[in-house]
Copies of this chain bind each other. A is one copy, B any other.
Amino acid sequence: MKKKTGDPKQRLLDTATTLFYNQGYHATGINQVIEEAGVARASLYLHYESKESLLLAFLNQRHIDWMAGLKSFTDEASKPKDKIAAAFDFLSDNNEREHFRGCAFLNILSETTEKDTAVLTVIQDHKKDLRAFLGEILTNEKQLIKDHVYLLFESAIVESQLYRNQWPVQEARKMALGLL
């Protein structure tokens, strides 16, 4: 029993966010969630139908927060090229703050089977939104350039998680800007 501020539902979501993201979904037990949230076991099921529904809540919230973070970085720039640079800087920033745990959605994707359609959909929707977001910045570019930037952006996340190092972000940033 650790956290005690905020309402139980929020505490559960916050705790699940930390644990699912840092340990993985299957490696995180409900016990640990309720214990660290400081909430009774049954209270979890009062607010969330199941462990999976807590996972979905986590992913949905993460989507909102992450996209907002990205937007706040790109909003600082005005020209498309600068916005793209800012987007990569957002990744650097994330890596520092979150110790190179990579993309929450891709991580969960790895634990996801064809059967988990609800989860898969949330993940795909997140990435579609990201792809669209980058595409809108590069509205005057051809589709292949848009996707090229998107794919570099994705590798930057994955590879910096893999190597626990910022070089993939920095290199991918340089490559992406070189395309524009």
| Contact B159 A111, beta carbon cutoff 8 Å | no
| Contact B144 A171, beta carbon cutoff 8 Å | yes
Contact of A106 among B24, B111, B156, B162 (CB under 8 A): B162
Per the bound structure, the CA–CA distance linking A162 and B7 in Å amounts to 34
| Contact B123 A162, beta carbon cutoff 8 Å | yes
Contact of A158 among B22, B24, B158, B163 (CB under 8 A): B158
One complex includes copies of this chain to the number of 4
Interface assignment of A97: CB less than 8 Å from any CB of chain B: no
Per the bound structure, the CA–CA distance linking A168 and B106 in Å amounts to 15
Q: How many residues of A contact B (CB 8 A)?
A: 36
Per the bound structure, the CA–CA distance linking A42 and B113 in Å amounts to 28
One of A10-18, A76-84, A146-154 contacting the partner = A146-154
Per the bound structure, the CA–CA distance linking A138 and B10 in Å amounts to 51
Known A124-B162, A127-B162, A155-B154; contact A102-B111, beta-carbon cutoff 8 A? no
| Contact B172 A151, beta carbon cutoff 8 Å | yes
Per the bound structure, the CA–CA distance linking A77 and B113 in Å amounts to 35
Contact of A109 among B22, B108, B124, B161 (CB under 8 A): B161
| Contact A158 B113, beta carbon cutoff 8 Å | no
Shortest A161–chain B CB gap in Å is 7
Contact of A151 among B24, B144, B175 (CB under 8 A): B175
| Contact A23 B113, beta carbon cutoff 8 Å | yes
Identify the 8 closest CB pairs spanning chains A and B, nearest first.
Answer: A26-B26, A110-B110, A151-B155, A107-B110, A155-B155, A24-B111, A154-B155, A26-B27
